[in-house]
Amino acid sequence: MDKEKIESGGEFLIKETAAEDVFIPEELNEEQQMIIETCEGFLEAEVFPNLDRIDRQEEGLMRNLIYKAGELGLLGISLPEEYEGFNQDFVTSMLASDAMGAGYSFSVAYSAHTGIGTLPILYYGTKEQKEHYLPKLASGEWAAAYCLTEPNAGSDANSGKTKAVLSEDGKHYILNGQKMWITNGGFADIQTVFAKIDNDRVYSAFIVEKNWPGVVINAEERKMGIKGSSTVQIFYNDVKVPVENLLGKRGGGFRIALNILHMGRVKLGGTVLGAARRAITQSVQYGNERKQFGQPISNFGAIKHKLGEQVIRTFATESAVYRVSKNIDDATAILMAEGKEKPQATIEAIGTFAIEAALLKVFGSEALNYVVDEAVQIFGGMGFSSETDVDRAYRDSRINRIFEGTNEINRLLVADTTIKKALRVGFDVVRYARHVVRESDKEAEIAVSKMYCYEEKQHCINNYKKAVLFLLGVATDAFQKDLFNEQEVLCNISDTIMQTYTAESTLLRVKKLDETANEKYTEEHRDILDVTIYDAASIIRKAGHDAINSLPDSVKGKEIMIERIDLFTTNVKPVNVKDARRRIADRLIDANKYCF
């Protein structure tokens, strides 16, 4: 493996990636395709016929579905074979999350069990803990939950009050406290619980079993969406936790929580894909069936705009999700070659891509919000009726902007982590920004005029990267240590980073499809790319203007800074976005389902 070609987290801003070095979903092997088909078959047979029953939280139904998924091996995709798993790579586990994402409330229960519920034990458990718990979690005999949030500790998770005190005989920790918004909490047999030992400043983590005395589970919460997902408060009243059930090291709980959140965020970027594709398929099928003014409403330009844009945002999200998934696998392989066990290597690799994980959580959840909102609009009055699945999709989508850290927190993380990483690797963004101010406008214009197609698109992406780094530099220079209190500016910068990464990921995917003569490649893929890069320019330009105009009044040369942002974002080849979206929509309409 050529380490020079392996992209590290955040490195996309200062490195040009070759299309041949990224993974795209069109390259799935036969085994991966079988896993997808198994997931889809499970949803068709067990979930979709029972959606109303699931939403009513029929006693035992969701728990039984988790068990049935375990019987098919769908709960152990990421687990080693010695623990009854399939030992698949991160890309394959992402494919399963993606496919199951179409399952509404079930996808939440599935993701919580296989991800934040099971993986802390895999990544941080002792040999004895793994042998005891993982086989039963893989089979579905036991279900898992993750207990971090408290009434006064949400985004600031480490401010929680749950306590653990060592018993006099030294055999148990006595656990007291309260957790809330616990997914799967109503039926989970195993809980990963975070608490502070004695007067520790940071969390430790514990494996707690549901049937131990003192574990009290509240009634199910009533929610706007994901109604079928079990969500409860759990109280711990003098629960005796064997010392052997401390997960990881004392005081290591916050690091566990942080790393699991990175994993949950990037996985959420994949989970929204299944939901988006299903909503798009429902949108186009209804558009083809519903007639107004003597013709299907899918014939109308306003509807085609919505269908085309649904596809574009989903495709861009998917391109970025599988790009970073392969990056994580590559980083894991390098760490394993250096002597680390796969679980440790995997969680370290995921942590390396914290920037990408946070941005995909935000971009993906907001892309799905657009898709389901427009699905309701295409359905019209029927979309507002609970008789249709798009009503359920619309309500279920909203939680994704809150899950795994709110989108506001994740936007701040994207910019904050990028700045800190730049400093850590010795990249001086302030000096870079000053260098950019001295660049010649004429040179940039000549460069773009001589390029065509993919080269021209790559030039646009490179300019977006310059815009991002320029903004990071001027904002850091202007605000100094106070930058981290300027949340609006950090969010502006994060939006430029998100647009750059997803646009580049779309470029690399389409270019690879074209250059390898992949049978799935069509001219409409180039339309998707054209609109994505064209629209990214205006979003980056607006965010850049807002950030610069928000600098202190004492900062000189704002006009020049604005000119540089314009230079990097206005030299984009004009695109007839109307016709491009119509061509994308027409292909979707002909297929009568999502086909990209």
Q: Specify burial of residue 336 (Cβ count, 10 A radius: 0-12, 13-18, 19+).
A: middle
pLDDT (mean) for 439-456 = 59
pLDDT (mean) for 303-320 = 98
Catalytic positions are: 404
The pLDDT of residue 446 is 45
Beta strands in 98-203 (DSSP E): 144-147, 163-166, 172-183, 190-197
Nearest Cα residue to 243 out of 143, 123, 126: 126
For the stretch 46-73, pLDDT in tens is 999 999 999 999 999 999 999 999 999 9
pLDDT (mean) for 31-51 = 96
For the stretch 269-289, pLDDT in tens is 999 999 999 999 999 999 999
Query: Band of the pLDDT at 152, cuts 50, 70, 90?
Result: confident
141 in helix, strand or coil? coil
The domain defined by 424-591 carries CATH number 1.20.1440.230: no
Nearest Cα residue to 458 out of 517, 518, 525, 510: 510
How many alpha carbons fall within 13 Å on the CB side of residue 379?
26
Identity of the residue numbered 67: Y
The pLDDT of residue 287 is 97
pLDDT (mean) for 12-21 = 91
The pLDDT of residue 438 is 63
Q: With 80 as the cut, is the pLDDT of residue 434 above it?
A: no
Identity of the residue numbered 160: G
Query: Band of the pLDDT at 447, cuts 50, 70, 90?
Result: low
Identical fold at 254-401 and 424-591? Answer: yes
- Per DSSP bridges, beta strands 163-166 and 190-197 are parallel
Q: With 80 as the cut, is the pLDDT of residue 402 above it?
A: yes
Residues belonging to the chain: 596
Q: What percent of the chain has pLDDT over 70?
A: 95
For the stretch 63-110, pLDDT in tens is 999 999 999 999 999 999 999 999 999 999 999 999 999 999 999 999
CATH topology of domain 254-401: Butyryl-CoA Dehydrogenase, subunit A; domain 3 (1.20.140)
Handedness of CA 347, 354, 356, 466 (dihedral sign): negative
For the stretch 243-258, pLDDT in tens is 999 999 999 998 999 8
Q: With 70 as the cut, is the pLDDT of residue 7 above it?
A: no
Q: How many whole angstroms separate alpha carbon 54 and alpha carbon 220?
A: 13
Q: How many whole angstroms separate alpha carbon 87 and alpha carbon 76?
A: 8
Q: Name which CATH class applies to 146-247.
A: mainly beta
The pLDDT of residue 156 is 73
Q: Which two tokens stand for residue 123?
A: 């990544």
pLDDT (mean) for 203-211 = 97
pLDDT (mean) for 335-346 = 92
pLDDT (mean) for 217-235 = 96
CB of 90 closer than 8 Å to CB of 325: yes
Q: What percent of the chain has pLDDT over 90?
A: 85
The pLDDT of residue 396 is 97
pLDDT (mean) for 6-34 = 89
Q: With 60 as the cut, is the pLDDT of residue 154 above it?
A: yes
The pLDDT of residue 393 is 97
Nearest Cα residue to 196 out of 223, 226, 236, 144: 236
Comparing 36-50, 155-169, 413-427, 445-459, the range with the smallest average pLDDT is 445-459
Q: What is the b/e burial string over 423-435, where b = at least 16 CB atoms within 10 angstroms of the residue's CB? A: eeeebebbebbee
The pLDDT of residue 159 is 79
Q: What is the CATH number of domain 3-143?
A: 1.10.540.10
pLDDT (mean) for 10-34 = 92
For the stretch 173-184, pLDDT in tens is 999 999 999 999
The pLDDT of residue 387 is 87
The pLDDT of residue 420 is 86
Q: How many whole angstroms separate alpha carbon 100 and alpha carbon 47?
A: 10
Query: Band of the pLDDT at 431, cuts 50, 70, 90?
Result: confident
Q: With 70 as the cut, is the pLDDT of residue 1 above it?
A: no
CB of 77 closer than 8 Å to CB of 83: no
Q: Specify burial of residue 76 (Cβ count, 10 A radius: 0-12, 13-18, 19+).
A: buried
For the chain, domain boundaries: 3-143, 146-247, 254-401, 424-591
pLDDT (mean) for 580-593 = 98
Q: With 50 as the cut, is the pLDDT of residue 440 above it?
A: no
Q: With 60 as the cut, is the pLDDT of residue 445 above it?
A: no
